[in-house]
Protein backbone atom coordinates (compact mmCIF):
# COMPACT_ATOMS: atom_id res chain seq x y z
CA UNK A 1 0.00 0.00 0.00
CA UNK A 2 1.33 3.50 -0.90
CA UNK A 3 1.39 5.97 2.03
CA UNK A 4 0.69 9.55 0.89
CA UNK A 5 2.01 12.53 2.90
CA UNK A 6 -0.48 14.07 5.37
CA UNK A 7 -0.92 17.83 5.74
CA UNK A 8 -1.52 19.20 9.27
CA UNK A 9 -4.17 21.93 8.93
CA UNK A 10 -7.37 23.40 10.37
CA UNK A 11 -10.16 21.77 8.37
CA UNK A 12 -12.95 24.28 7.64
CA UNK A 13 -15.73 21.65 7.65
CA UNK A 14 -15.84 18.24 9.38
CA UNK A 15 -18.95 16.78 7.71
CA UNK A 16 -17.53 13.41 6.65
CA UNK A 17 -20.88 11.73 5.87
CA UNK A 18 -23.96 11.05 8.01
CA UNK A 19 -27.57 10.05 7.27
CA UNK A 20 -30.18 12.74 6.66
CA UNK A 21 -33.02 12.83 9.20
CA UNK A 22 -36.21 14.86 8.85
CA UNK A 23 -37.06 15.82 12.43
CA UNK A 24 -40.78 16.21 12.99
CA UNK A 25 -41.68 18.51 15.88
CA UNK A 26 -44.51 20.73 17.07
CA UNK A 27 -44.30 24.55 16.74
CA UNK A 28 -45.56 26.83 19.58
CA UNK A 29 -48.82 27.51 17.64
CA UNK A 30 -49.49 23.76 17.30
CA UNK A 31 -48.50 23.48 13.63
CA UNK A 32 -46.08 20.81 12.41
CA UNK A 33 -42.43 21.45 11.71
CA UNK A 34 -40.08 19.34 9.63
CA UNK A 35 -36.35 20.07 9.62
CA UNK A 36 -33.61 18.33 7.65
CA UNK A 37 -30.56 17.58 9.76
CA UNK A 38 -27.67 15.15 9.65
CA UNK A 39 -25.74 15.46 12.93
CA UNK A 40 -27.26 12.27 14.32
CA UNK A 41 -25.88 9.00 15.65
CA UNK A 42 -27.40 6.05 17.48
CA UNK A 43 -26.27 3.79 20.32
CA UNK A 44 -28.60 1.10 21.62
CA UNK A 45 -32.10 2.56 21.68
CA UNK A 46 -30.81 6.13 22.13
CA UNK A 47 -29.76 8.81 19.68
CA UNK A 48 -27.75 12.03 19.90
CA UNK A 49 -28.87 14.98 17.77
CA UNK A 50 -26.83 18.12 17.15
CA UNK A 51 -28.99 21.15 16.48
CA UNK A 52 -28.00 24.80 16.10
CA UNK A 53 -29.56 27.08 18.71
CA UNK A 54 -31.20 29.31 16.09
CA UNK A 55 -33.30 26.44 14.65
CA UNK A 56 -37.00 26.47 15.50
CA UNK A 57 -36.68 22.71 16.04
CA UNK A 58 -34.26 23.32 18.93
CA UNK A 59 -36.84 25.49 20.73
CA UNK A 60 -39.54 22.93 19.94
CA UNK A 61 -37.54 20.02 21.42
CA UNK A 62 -36.63 21.97 24.56
CA UNK A 63 -40.30 22.86 25.10
CA UNK A 64 -42.15 19.69 23.99
CA UNK A 65 -39.46 17.09 24.92
CA UNK A 66 -40.49 14.86 22.00
CA UNK A 67 -40.00 14.44 18.25
CA UNK A 68 -40.06 11.96 15.37
CA UNK A 69 -36.87 11.06 13.50
CA UNK A 70 -37.95 10.37 9.92
CA UNK A 71 -35.03 8.75 8.10
CA UNK A 72 -34.74 9.88 4.50
CA UNK A 73 -33.98 7.32 1.78
CA UNK A 74 -31.74 8.48 -1.10
CA UNK A 75 -34.83 8.58 -3.36
CA UNK A 76 -36.18 11.48 -1.25
CA UNK A 77 -33.36 13.86 -2.13
CA UNK A 78 -35.61 16.28 -4.06
CA UNK A 79 -37.98 16.78 -1.12
CA UNK A 80 -35.10 17.19 1.33
CA UNK A 81 -33.43 19.79 -0.87
CA UNK A 82 -36.71 21.75 -1.09
CA UNK A 83 -36.61 22.06 2.73
CA UNK A 84 -33.00 23.28 2.75
CA UNK A 85 -32.60 26.98 3.59
CA UNK A 86 -36.08 27.14 5.16
CA UNK A 87 -37.02 27.75 8.78
CA UNK A 88 -40.28 27.71 10.69
CA UNK A 89 -38.91 30.52 12.89
CA UNK A 90 -41.19 33.54 12.28
CA UNK A 91 -38.15 35.83 12.22
CA UNK A 92 -35.31 34.44 10.13
CA UNK A 93 -32.06 34.84 12.14
CA UNK A 94 -29.66 37.31 10.46
CA UNK A 95 -26.89 34.75 9.82
CA UNK A 96 -29.41 32.45 8.12
CA UNK A 97 -31.03 35.27 6.10
CA UNK A 98 -27.54 36.18 4.86
CA UNK A 99 -27.13 32.76 3.21
CA UNK A 100 -30.61 32.70 1.69
CA UNK A 101 -32.90 31.14 4.34
CA UNK A 102 -36.61 32.07 4.19
CA UNK A 103 -39.49 31.59 6.64
CA UNK A 104 -41.65 28.60 5.66
CA UNK A 105 -44.75 27.97 7.81
CA UNK A 106 -45.83 24.77 5.98
CA UNK A 107 -42.80 22.52 5.55
CA UNK A 108 -44.86 19.48 4.47
CA UNK A 109 -46.45 21.41 1.58
CA UNK A 110 -43.09 22.97 0.66
CA UNK A 111 -41.47 19.53 0.49
CA UNK A 112 -44.45 17.78 -1.13
CA UNK A 113 -44.54 15.23 1.71
CA UNK A 114 -47.47 13.70 3.60
CA UNK A 115 -48.02 14.18 7.32
CA UNK A 116 -48.95 11.14 9.40
CA UNK A 117 -49.83 11.19 13.10
CA UNK A 118 -47.45 9.51 15.53
CA UNK A 119 -48.79 7.06 18.09
CA UNK A 120 -46.95 7.98 21.30
CA UNK A 121 -45.69 11.53 20.74
CA UNK A 122 -47.21 14.81 19.57
CA UNK A 123 -44.97 15.27 16.54
CA UNK A 124 -45.46 14.42 12.86
CA UNK A 125 -44.27 11.36 10.97
CA UNK A 126 -43.50 11.56 7.24
CA UNK A 127 -45.56 8.90 5.44
CA UNK A 128 -43.00 8.63 2.61
CA UNK A 129 -40.10 7.87 5.01
CA UNK A 130 -39.65 4.07 5.32
CA UNK A 131 -38.18 4.39 8.84
CA UNK A 132 -39.82 6.63 11.45
CA UNK A 133 -38.65 6.74 15.08
CA UNK A 134 -40.88 8.29 17.73
CA UNK A 135 -38.62 9.75 20.43
CA UNK A 136 -38.66 11.35 23.87
CA UNK A 137 -35.97 13.88 24.86
CA UNK A 138 -33.98 12.55 27.87
CA UNK A 139 -31.41 15.34 28.16
CA UNK A 140 -30.17 18.49 26.44
CA UNK A 141 -26.53 19.60 26.63
CA UNK A 142 -24.98 22.92 25.60
CA UNK A 143 -22.61 22.20 22.71
CA UNK A 144 -19.73 23.98 20.94
CA UNK A 145 -17.48 26.73 22.12
CA UNK A 146 -16.16 29.01 23.38
CA UNK A 147 -19.76 30.36 23.28
CA UNK A 148 -22.20 27.39 22.89
CA UNK A 149 -23.95 27.70 19.51
CA UNK A 150 -25.78 24.38 19.48
CA UNK A 151 -27.62 21.87 21.65
CA UNK A 152 -26.90 18.15 21.79
CA UNK A 153 -30.16 16.32 22.45
CA UNK A 154 -30.13 12.84 23.91
CA UNK A 155 -33.34 11.11 22.87
CA UNK A 156 -34.68 7.60 23.32
CA UNK A 157 -36.72 5.73 20.75
CA UNK A 158 -40.13 4.87 22.19
CA UNK A 159 -41.65 3.42 19.01
CA UNK A 160 -40.11 2.46 15.66
CA UNK A 161 -42.08 2.13 12.40
CA UNK A 162 -40.40 0.34 9.50
CA UNK A 163 -41.73 -0.53 6.03
CA UNK A 164 -42.07 -4.30 5.91
CA UNK A 165 -40.09 -4.70 2.68
CA UNK A 166 -36.96 -3.25 4.39
CA UNK A 167 -36.81 -6.03 6.96
CA UNK A 168 -34.89 -9.27 6.77
CA UNK A 169 -37.94 -11.54 6.26
CA UNK A 170 -39.29 -12.96 9.51
CA UNK A 171 -37.07 -10.76 11.74
CA UNK A 172 -37.00 -7.34 13.42
CA UNK A 173 -33.73 -6.41 11.66
CA UNK A 174 -33.39 -3.83 8.87
CA UNK A 175 -31.67 -5.42 5.87
CA UNK A 176 -28.61 -3.23 5.12
CA UNK A 177 -28.82 -4.22 1.45
CA UNK A 178 -32.39 -2.91 1.17
CA UNK A 179 -31.92 0.33 3.16
CA UNK A 180 -30.28 3.06 1.07
CA UNK A 181 -30.00 6.15 3.32
CA UNK A 182 -29.59 9.65 1.95
CA UNK A 183 -26.11 10.70 3.10
CA UNK A 184 -24.99 14.30 3.58
CA UNK A 185 -21.23 14.57 2.93
CA UNK A 186 -19.56 18.01 3.00
CA UNK A 187 -23.03 19.57 2.40
CA UNK A 188 -23.64 17.44 -0.72
CA UNK A 189 -26.15 14.59 -1.12
CA UNK A 190 -25.03 11.01 -1.71
CA UNK A 191 -26.82 7.68 -1.97
CA UNK A 192 -25.32 4.32 -2.84
CA UNK A 193 -21.98 6.19 -2.74
CA UNK A 194 -22.89 8.52 -5.65
CA UNK A 195 -23.56 12.26 -5.72
CA UNK A 196 -27.29 12.54 -6.40
CA UNK A 197 -28.51 16.11 -6.72
CA UNK A 198 -27.37 19.75 -6.64
CA UNK A 199 -27.49 20.95 -3.01
CA UNK A 200 -28.89 24.31 -1.89
CA UNK A 201 -27.12 23.84 1.46
CA UNK A 202 -23.73 23.61 -0.29
CA UNK A 203 -24.66 26.70 -2.32
CA UNK A 204 -25.69 28.60 0.84
CA UNK A 205 -22.42 27.63 2.56
CA UNK A 206 -20.46 28.61 -0.59
CA UNK A 207 -18.56 25.31 -0.45
CA UNK A 208 -15.45 25.51 -2.64
CA UNK A 209 -15.68 22.10 -4.33
CA UNK A 210 -16.87 21.64 -7.91
CA UNK A 211 -19.38 18.84 -8.50
CA UNK A 212 -19.92 17.71 -12.09
CA UNK A 213 -23.66 17.76 -12.97
CA UNK A 214 -25.06 14.36 -11.98
CA UNK A 215 -28.45 12.84 -11.22
CA UNK A 216 -31.56 14.96 -11.79
Ligand X SMILES: Cc1cc2nc3c(=O)[nH]c(=O)nc-3n(C[C@H](O)[C@H](O)[C@H](O)COP(=O)(O)O)c2cc1C
Residues engaged in binding ligand X (CB under 6 A)? 20, 33, 35-39, 50-52, 55-57, 84, 87-89, 184, 201
Q: Which is nearer to ligand X, 167 or 205 (CB)?
A: 205
Q: Are strands 102-103 and 86-87 parallel, antiparallel or unpaired?
A: parallel
Q: Which is nearer to ligand X, 56 or 132 (CB)?
A: 56
Q: Which is nearer to ligand X, 55 or 131 (CB)?
A: 55
| CB < 8 Å & 24+ apart, contacts of 134-139 | 134/66, 134/68, 134/158, 134/159, 134/160, 134/161, 135/47, 135/66, 135/67, 135/68, 135/69, 136/65, 136/66, 137/61, 137/62, 137/65, 137/66, 137/67, 138/46
Q: How far is the CB of 184 from ligand X (least distance, A)?
A: 4
Q: Which is nearer to ligand X, 2 or 53 (CB)?
A: 53
Q: How far is the CB of 38 from ligand X (least distance, A)?
A: 4
Distance (Å, whole) CA 23 – CA 68: 6
Q: How far is the CB of 156 from ligand X (least distance, A)?
A: 19
Q: How far is the CB of 95 from ligand X (least distance, A)?
A: 10
Amino acid sequence: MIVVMHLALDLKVLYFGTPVVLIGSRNPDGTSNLAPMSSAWWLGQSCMLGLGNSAQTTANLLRERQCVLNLAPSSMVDAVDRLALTTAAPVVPADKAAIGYRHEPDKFAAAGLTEQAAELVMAPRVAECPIQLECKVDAAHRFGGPEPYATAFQVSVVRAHVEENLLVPGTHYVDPLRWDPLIMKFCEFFGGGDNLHPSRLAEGWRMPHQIAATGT
